[in-house]
Amino acid sequence: MDHSLPQIADPIPRATPAETGRRPEAPQFTDDPMLDRLYGVTLALVSELAVTRSRLDALERVLARRELVDQDEVEAFVPEPAAADARSRLQAEYLERVLRALE
C-alpha cells in the first residue's frame, strides 16, 4: 500500500510574471515577510477549523436525529484501509489550503 501523501496543488496557479508581463503583487503588512506568511497560515487555519466544527455539528445533528450517535464508538473509531486512504487525501487537500500563504 502506498502511504505517500498525494500531490495536491492549487487548482488555478498564480500566473508568472513571464506569462503576464506584470509585476507580481505581494503587499507586505509587517516588518518581517515571515510574519505575513504566518498570519496567512493562521487565518486559513481559523477558517478551516470553523469549517470542521460546522461539519461536526452537522454530522452530530444528523446522527442525533436518527438516534445513532454513540460517543464511545466515536472515541474508539479506527478507519478501514479505504477510509484511511480517503482521509489521507483529505489531509493533503487540507494542507494545500492552509499553507496557501506560503506559496
Give, in degrees to the nearest 5, the angle at Cα 47 between 54 and 31.
165
Across 68-96, b (16+ Cβ under 10 Å) vs e yields eeeeeeeeeeeeeeeeeeeebeeeeebeb
Q: By C-beta, is 1 or 47 nearer to another protein?
A: 47
Reported in sequence order, the residue ranges of 18-96 that DSSP labels E, i.e. its strands, are: none
Q: How far is the CB of 72 from another protein (least distance, A)?
A: 25
Q: How far is the CB of 87 from another protein (least distance, A)?
A: 14
Q: By C-beta, is 9 or 78 nearer to another protein?
A: 9
Residues that bind another protein (CB under 8 A): 10-15, 20-22, 25, 27, 29-30, 36, 39-40, 43-44, 46-48, 50-51, 54-55, 58, 97, 100-101
* Helix-then-strand count for the chain, H and E: 4, 0
Q: By C-beta, is 19 or 73 nearer to another protein?
A: 19
